Amino acid sequence: MRNTARWAMTLGLTATAVCGPLTGAALASPGQAPTALYAPSALVLTVGHGESAAAATPERAVTLTCAPTASGTHPVAGSACAELRGVGGDIHALTARGGVMCTKQYDPVVVTVDGVWQGQRVSYERTFSNECVKNAYGSGVFAF
């Protein structure tokens, strides 16, 4: 049940981030020309303690929209979008910054990213050994 609720929340946030609230002008008629010049780039990111997303309860969730401008509830949306653009939206390509010193304490933190990047579906999950290691990856995407 807990996993079902997590997915329902993630899908709801993703739909809202990608489509916006379904009111008035947001509802398009069949055959109507698209109103956007950019392919959607909207993501929902979650973080929680545990070894997998199935075993962890999300502790924080943020939205990140990168087209046409950076926005959402992500605290550093601009740098997160810039970082994602730098790796072509490939979240797996984010690497750890050099010079960051972390303890070897094992307190797993799992991050999920779901949504769309330039019109392509994105689903990502990664477990870091602790919060410090998570924060060492990239400069903005996981900083929430």
pLDDT 10s digits, 58-111: 999 999 999 888 999 999 999 999 999 999 999 999 988 888 899 999 999 999
CA distance 133 to 9: 26
Residue 49, pLDDT above cutoff 90: yes
- Give backbone dihedrals phi and psi of 139, rounded to 5 degrees, phi first: -115, -15
Residue type, 69: T
Q: Is 27 domain-assigned?
A: no
| Count of domains for the chain | 1
Q: Is 68 domain-assigned?
A: yes
Q: Is 23 domain-assigned?
A: no
CATH number of the domain where residue 9 is located: 3.30.350.10
43, 17 contact by CB (below 8 A):
yes
- pLDDT at res. 18: 47
- pLDDT at res. 9: 53
pTM of the predicted structure, to 2 decimals = 0.72
- pLDDT at res. 97: 83
Q: Is 141 domain-assigned?
A: no
Q: Is 144 domain-assigned?
A: no
CA distance 142 to 33: 36
